[in-house]
Structure 1
Amino acid sequence: MIIAHLSDLHLGAHDPVAVASIAADVEAVRPSLTVVTGDLTMRAREREFRKVRELLDRLPGPVLAVTGNHDVPLVDWRRALTPYDRWKSWIDGDLEPVRKVPGITALGLQSMPRWRWKNGRVTSRQAGEVVRVLGAAPPGDVRVLALHHPPLATGTAALLGRRHLLAAVRAARVDLVLAGHTHVPDVRVLGHQVFVVAGTTTSHRVRGSSCSWSVISVDRGEIEVRERNLGPDGWHVGRVVHVRVSAGASSG
């Protein structure tokens, strides 16, 4: 199984070269699923969502996308009364979408409540949804959870509800947890789960690296994460991480 993992597009503060070239680079790996983990816009403006829609329509589908903190209006009446209306109109009417393709069951979680400005929260209800949806995936499916905020972040960046979410991830035998938010690519293993954070795919807001996205390959408990970085000559392979999960990814 191949999953394309993009994040933090920040259209409205984007690199035009990255936006123009990303769809072809993703298409070249022929993913079974494309996942975009939040901050698709810079300020949740209508024109930014329109650009996002145009980009998503060029990416190989199916696409699973979740909200980030930048996808909620910053300071106006919409944040209080209709914080997700533009997202629902332009991106997906379901804030917690499920995508099922042969060999993969994926669930997106909405980790950005309107009353938090940057850091995220996952409720006990959402943790239960992880168990309900991913715990019931067919034997042998790769079980994928996607959200904007990295569940393993600590300190002031810690995800509210983290303990309940991680317990649900274990109970549901999730293979991959995909996130963004930090703009710094990262791969970690906790128990039998692999946590992948993608960098910023198309924005100028890079932190110590270039625009990047991740190609994730899963085969019989072997997981390979290949970063794709944008350079002067286009996209190229960056860091490659191999993980062996003994009780296994896609073990059922």
Structure 2
Amino acid sequence: MQAHDLAVRAGAQQLLRPAGDHAMRRPTFVLALLAAICLLGASGARAQDIVYGPDGAPTVVQRKLHSMTGRWEAGASFAIALNNALIDQFGGLVSLSYHPNEWLDFGAEALLNRTGISALARNVRADLRPRTAGQTGDEFRNDNQLRLGGFAVARVAPIYGKLNLASELRMHFQAFLLGGAGIAQVHRESINLCADPGTGVCPSFQQSDALAGMGIAGAGLRFYFNQRWSLVSEVRGYLFRSSYKRANDLTQPSSGSPSHYLAAIATFTGGMSFLF
């Protein structure tokens, strides 16, 4: 029995020894594999061209496909007013800008719109009562029509991203904020104040044209097709000083006192740009 026990113990030791050696070698191999992966990842990260934003931090997408630094951009867009129910306004915008780096550009824009009063404004006029002596009223606000203008504009674009539309279709984009200033012609056609003195039905309404200094603020997106062509969309607001008349004698166009306010015309623009 003792000889048998010794034989069993010897066989057990022979069976257990390789398993123990293999168990000790396994963590060593795993650690070596992880270290190799880390080294490869570190070398790959050093090989990438890091793109920095205006805050000095790396942008979201490191491998930027479409570089903007040192390039000019020419654009053409259509524009339509969003926030004025009394006015119909649509037209076009052309621009030329320069990109000194990846997140900034500045340039000039020219705007030309076709404008007129809306169907709602015509319905309001149709409902006006004939004028009688002694009647007074306030002029409607927000009858401003932005017809043409020239502006200096700058854009700051700290965000560069990528949309995975499908497994093989990826679209790179850039989000930006914009601001600027310029001069524009503003046409005003009163909705409810008559241009002719007297009583009765109003045959024509007061109109005026003026040059106004304007500020611009907005935001937009640029979607890249390739190194030269991109789709640009913006929502922007034109801010300027305007006025309307209060306590106007409806039979005397020259009466009333002007009251000033900050007018805002919000527009949506969409179009193409060409980089060169």
TM-score for the superposition, normalised by structure 2:
0.23
| CA radius of gyration, larger in | 2
Larger helix share, 1 or 2: 1
- Which structure exhibits the higher relative contact order, with contacts defined as CA atoms closer than 8 Å and separated by 6 or more residues? 1
TM-score for the superposition, normalised by structure 1:
0.24
